[in-house]
A and B are shown apart, each in its own frame.
Chain A
Amino acid sequence: MGHVLREGLQQVVNGLSMGSVYALIALGYTMVYGIVKLINFAHGDVMMIGAYVGWLATSRLHMSFVPALLLAMASCALLGVIIERIAYKPLRNATRVAALITAIGVSLFLEYGNMLVASAQVRSYPPVLPSVSYKVGGVYLQYGAIVIFATTIILMILLTLTVRYTKIGKAMRAASFDKDAALMMGVNVNSTISATFAIGSALAAAAGVLYGAYYNTIDPLMGIIPGLKAFIAAVLGGIGIIPGAVVGGLVLGLTESAVSALGASTWRDAVAFLILILVLILKPSGLFGKNVREKV
């Protein structure tokens, strides 16, 4: 009995550590959607670029972990602003589908552009996160998983505070509510949206570096599946709601772990996408979402 319990607890820990990776990626996803109402399908690929910048910084420039993380976040913030200016800004008044298709285009561009530059070869991170695991009551906790979980919670709190209490946060919410009215009230909508993309992409880069260091391998297509999973997490929690993304990510991780624990590991991804379909049918506003009546 103790044996079964211990195995169950280990699976919960496995699920939480997998889930916090999804949650971390989902934070940037949900924030950009919350402000700009654009599903940025290139988010997972910005994460991949962040992972590569972090890899370059640690393996080639021999930087230590925190400076490499900051460098990756800064580069991706810039990349996010450039992507927005070039790809999304001209479509700001176009239909949502046009913007969505453009986002998929940006995503493919980043994936295969990087494949051209860095080749499709799998690269491995130098050991920047110590490969240590702690044994607590028969359950193993990885150092890397603890770092990712803590980072996710800290970033979630910081992001919530930023959006709720700072001036730029207020401008973001105003722009999100009504772009034209915000403009008339003297809010610089362009720079507010740029700031949104900068923060969202920096979050993606942080996720990318942590992901690369934790799972140790990166390749140009590494962003696709985590990006989709983060999208599911964001929708599950209620897209646009910051704490919702974290809860959604953790629930998704736990579900996947449970599916594998029951011996159906090949169904793991299928169950994740089934969750997406069910949420969209049963409660499109997500776990934390309120039902808002459509404006007519």
Chain B
Amino acid sequence: MKKIFAFLTVGILCLSLAGGCGTTGAAAGNGGGGTIKVGGDLELTGGQAMFGQEAQNGIKMAFDQINAKGGVLGGKKLALDVADNKSDPGEATTAATKLVGDNVVAVIGPMTSSLVAAATPVVTDSKVPLITPSGTNAKLTMAAGGKVQPYIFRPCFIDPFQGQVGAKFALGTLHAKTAAVIVDQKSDYAKGLADTFISNFTAGGGKIVDQEKYASGDKDFTSILTRIKGTNPDLIWLPGYYNDDGLIVKQARDLGMKMPFAGGDGWDDPSLFTIGTPAALNDTYYVDHVANDSPDMVQFVKDYKEKYGHEPNAMSALSYDAANMIINAIQTANSGDPAKITAELDKLTGFKGVTGEITIDPNTHNPQKKAVIKENKNGKGIYLTSVSPS
């Protein structure tokens, strides 16, 4: 019995060594040969596994498409070197270290803000650019002292930007002159969206007639809604999450309030319509990163469904754009050198992504792009228009 175990152990050791050797060999080949390696520091397992899986699909699709066209820099293929960060900040640092050790030219991911913050020192020390497809925390691209993080980029807009777009949409498309704001006192996200909405709405000539507060988890909003009803605003800006939004809109409609509601991407969840009712949620709008039914997305959605058998989401689309931003930078720089790629990303202008036309602001590394507005119609959020912030 013991002998069998010994054999097995030796066998497994041999296999793992062989496997290890194989990878190292391939890596060496990649550096000098026909491939360029891009790292993926992704949430493949753990709490945000869905984000990482969708991102991996999006990146692979972008690379397969360019490789099918003959690759970059005169025939070099792009390869994705993935490291699982297990949705954990510590593991995100480890994964970034591993990828940098593999000599990747750039890193895509992590998807969530706290993990990006954990990977930032590693890529900064090694001077490798990192694009986070969906890290929306405003601080990620900014170092202490108000200076930009030189190696961190993103194709997604930051949270407060949604308030700016929402105000423009309210004034321009809905022709609202007065608005009331209902804000979740427990959420920094909601407070950020409310603040930027208020400053942009008033700057654009609108008037805020009432501001009400609640704490997420409250179930009865009739008292604050009755107060708002007395001020009769043209629009109610409600930048909370879907479970509160659904209840608030339903209770407002039951009180006979017919004005439109608008909010941010926290609205985007199918259960919005089971918590509120589809009828109550008609004439409500929200700002979002992507809409699968927008004209820019049509081809991508079709290709993605063909390749993976299901609809892409915002994570897959933003990661697809992140991958193409790197391809674009390699081609314009005509080099696979991380420093040159970083320089190109820094001055990226008018890049046509599926999530919109992206121009990177060199002072913040945030994209200047249009946001999507969706309208809830009979139980479904459908693409209405794209709105640019300025």
Contacts and interface: CB of A to CB of B under 8 A. Distances in A.
A10 B247 contact: no
8 contacts: A14-B222, A122-B271, A131-B280, A140-B254, A217-B219, A217-B243, A217-B246, A260-B227
B255 A10 contact: yes
Interface string A1-22: 0010001001100110110010
Nearest to B212: A265
A140 B256 contact: yes
Interface residues of B, number: 27
Nearest to B255: A140
Interface of B: 185, 212-215, 217, 219-220, 222-224, 226-227, 229-230, 243, 246-247, 250, 254-256, 271, 274-275, 277, 280
Contacts of A225: 217
A14 B277 CA distance: 21
A265 B227 CA distance: 11
A217 B230 contact: no
Contact of B230 (A7, A135, A142): A7
Nearest to B232: A3
A129 to B, nearest CB: 12
Given A10-B255, A122-B243, A133-B255, A216 B250 contact: yes
B223 A256 contact: yes
B213 A261 contact: no
Contacts of A216: 246-247, 250, 275
Contact of B254 (A7, A131, A266): A131
Most buried by B among A142, A260, A266: A260
A113 interface: no
Nearest to A267: B213
Contacts of B213: 265-266
A261 B254 contact: no
Given A10-B226, A14-B223, A261-B226, 13 more contacts: A7-B227, A14-B220, A17-B220, A124-B246, A133-B255, A133-B256, A142-B254, A216-B247, A256-B223, A263-B212, A265-B213, A265-B214, A269-B215
A215 B247 contact: yes
Nearest to A9: B226
A127 interface: yes
A149 B256 CA distance: 21
Contacts of B246: 124, 216-217
Contacts of B229: 7, 10
The prevalent SS among residues of A at the interface is helix
Contacts of B217: 225
A211 to B, nearest CB: 8
A58 interface: no
Interface residues of A, number: 30
Given A10-B226, A11-B226, A135 B256 contact: yes
Contacts of B212: 263, 265
B223 A261 contact: yes
Interface of A: 3, 7, 10-11, 14-15, 17-18, 21, 122, 124, 127, 131, 133, 135, 140, 142, 215-217, 225, 256-257, 260-261, 263, 265-266, 268-269
Contacts of A261: 223, 226-227
Contacts of B214: 265-266
Contacts of B223: 11, 14-15, 18, 256-257, 260-261, 265, 268
A217 B275 contact: yes
A124 B219 CA distance: 13
A131 B214 CA distance: 23
B259 to A, nearest CB: 15
Nearest to A224: B217
Contacts of A135: 256
Contacts of A131: 250, 254, 277, 280
A22 to B, nearest CB: 10
Contacts of A14: 220, 222-223, 226
Nearest to B275: A124
B215 to A, nearest CB: 7
Contacts of A269: 215
A268 B247 CA distance: 18
A14 B271 CA distance: 26
A18 B274 CA distance: 22
